[in-house]
Amino acid sequence: MASEERSSWVMVVVATTAYVIYLSLVLSGGAALPLAPADYGWQVLWTILGAIVVAVLAEIGLAIVDGVRGDKTGRRDERDRRIHQLGEYTGQAFIVIGALAALILAILEADAFWIANAVYLAFVLSAVLGSITKIALYRGGLPTW
Amino acid sequence: MVKPTRVTNSIRTLRFLAGEMTQAELAEKVGVTRQTIIAIEQSKYSPSLEVAFQIAASLGVRLDEAFTYPAIGEKA
């Protein structure tokens, strides 16, 4: 498995897990929505930072394992770069959708809870769907057009 | 469904003729990953012109011996 494909799997698992943990933390209290900033703000920040730290540590760990094995899967070539670009384009589309959703919610004077959650969901969708796109391209091949 | 490339290649045969060169050996010579050589052989990826030339050179053949493309109007 190419390193970029492996990184994509790591991102899918880590981003999804972090978001599920966030939802369970926020919704487990049974309090009525929207929550006050004190009841979800730290959970948002900690799950985002936690996901970043876990993803980085996982990458470092896998790179060390490759190095010990003498495996060269960490090398990236033109195909990896093209797949990375296409995956990033897909991911960025969800960042834009999330920003638009947040903008509309702000115009409608929605509670900050909903705006923050729209942005967080966009981050998660961007990471997960961008990574799934990369995995699909590794498995199915790059499109020709 | 991803549209397959119309570029076809004879890399597998040429590797065999080049002293049964492995995919890993060809990848090392060209400077790409073995996964990319596999994808090219399976027509899942069309390499850049530069990599295509490097593959042909590594196999000791001309570009058009390693890669072929149907003429305009002709079906692959």
Residues 4-33 of B with CB under 8 A from A: 4-6, 31-33
pLDDT at position A1, please? 76
**Residues of B with Cβ-Cβ distance to A76 under 8 angstroms:** 33
pLDDT in tens, B38-65: 999 998 899 999 999 999 999 999 999 9
When the pLDDT of each residue in chain B is averaged and rounded to a whole number, the result is 89
What would the two tokens of residue B74 be?
């002709």
- Rounded Cα–Cα distance for residues A46 and A41 (Å): 9
B42 touches chain A (CB under 8 A): yes
Mean pLDDT of the A42-50 span: 93
Residue A75 dihedral angles phi and psi, to the nearest 5°? -70, 140
Q: Could B3 and A145 be called an inter-chain contact, meaning their C-beta atoms sit closer than 8 Å?
A: yes
Predicted confidence band at A4 (pLDDT cuts at 50, 70, 90)?
Answer: confident
pLDDT at position B54, please? 96
When the pLDDT of each residue in chain A is averaged and rounded to a whole number, the result is 90
Predicted confidence band at B2 (pLDDT cuts at 50, 70, 90)?
Answer: low
pLDDT at position A72, please? 65
Bond preceding residue A34 cis, omega within 30 of 0: yes
- Rounded Cα–Cα distance for residues B31 and B35 (Å): 12
- Asked if residue A10 has pLDDT above 60, the reply is yes
Residue by residue, what is the 3-state secondary structure of chain B? CCCCCCCEECHHHHHHHCCCCCHHHHHHHHCCCHHHHHHHHCCCCCCCHHHHHHHHHHHCCCHHHHEECCCCCCCC
pLDDT in tens, A67-95: 887 766 667 899 999 999 999 999 999 99
Q: Could B33 and A72 be called an inter-chain contact, meaning their C-beta atoms sit closer than 8 Å?
A: yes
A84 touches chain B (CB under 8 A): no
Helix, strand, coil percentages, rounded to 5, for chain A: 80, 0, 20
* Residue keyed to tokens 């981050």: A123
- pTM for the whole structure: 0.83
Nearest to B30 by CA among B66, B5, B4, B55: B55
Percent of chain A with pLDDT over 70: 97
Question: A3 exposed, middle or buried (CB, 10 Å; 0-12, 13-18, 19+)?
Answer: buried
Mean pLDDT of the A118-130 span: 96
Residue type, A121: L
ipTM of model over 0.90: no
pLDDT at position B76, please? 53
